[in-house]
Amino acid sequence: MKAQIIATLTAVSVLSSSISAASAQGAAAITQIRVRVVTSTRPAAGTDDPVYLGLGGREFKLEDGDPAFDDYADGSDHSYIFGVGSNVARATLNDPRDPPRTTDDLQAFPVYIRKSSDTAGATVANWDVEEVMVTVNPGLSQSIYSALEGPEHLWLGNGSGLVLYLKRRR
C-alpha cells in the first residue's frame, strides 16, 4: 500500500512538472512593444500631461526620447517602441525585459492607455484620442490590441475618465 502511494505521488509530481514545463514553453518573452497613438485634429485635442501604457501587469511611460518632441499635439501620429530598438525616454526604466514579461502576462492583465490627472492647474487639460494600436513582439507570433478605429475618438480627462482599455485583435 505504501509503495502504491509513493508511486501515485511520483506520477502526480511528474505530471505536474510536465504541465508546468508545457505552460512555460508556450509563453514567449516580450522583447518589444510598439505603440501607435493618434491625437485628433479637433480644437484643443492635445495634452501635455503624461500618458502611460498598461500591459503585462505594469505601466510604461509613453514619451519620446527627443525632449523637444511634442508627444500629444493636435493631429500627432506617433509610434513608441519599448525593448529592442527603443525610442522612448528612460528606455532602461521602460523595458519589458526588466523585469521580464511574457505573453502569459498579456492574458493575466488588461491592456490600456492612461492619461494622468490634469496637471495644468485651473485649465482643463483634456486629450482627444483618435486611435491606439499596440503590437507585442512584431512578427509572425505578434499580438495586437487596439481601440478607436475609423472615425471614433474619445476625450480623456478628469471629467470624463482617464483610462481607455484596448481590445485584442489577434
Tell me the pLDDT tens digit for each residue of 82-105. 999 999 999 999 999 999 999 999
| All structural domains of the chain | 29-168 (2.60.60.20)
Q: Are 45 and 127 in contact (CB under 8 A)?
A: yes
Residue 3 has pLDDT above 60, yes or no: no
- Retrieve residue 95's grid coordinates: 523595458
Strand order in the sheet with 58-61: 58-61, 51-55, 112-115, 163-165
CA atoms of 133 and 42, how far apart (whole Å): 20
168, β-bridge pairs: 145
Cα separation values, 22 from 18, 25, 136, Å: 6, 5, 22
Residue 169 has pLDDT above 50, yes or no: yes
Instruction: Return the ∠ at Cα 106 (arms to 105 and 110), rounded to 5°.
Output: 110
Q: What is the pLDDT of residues 43-74, one digit of tens each?
A: 999 999 999 999 999 999 999 999 899 999 99
* Higher per-residue pLDDT: 158 or 62: 62
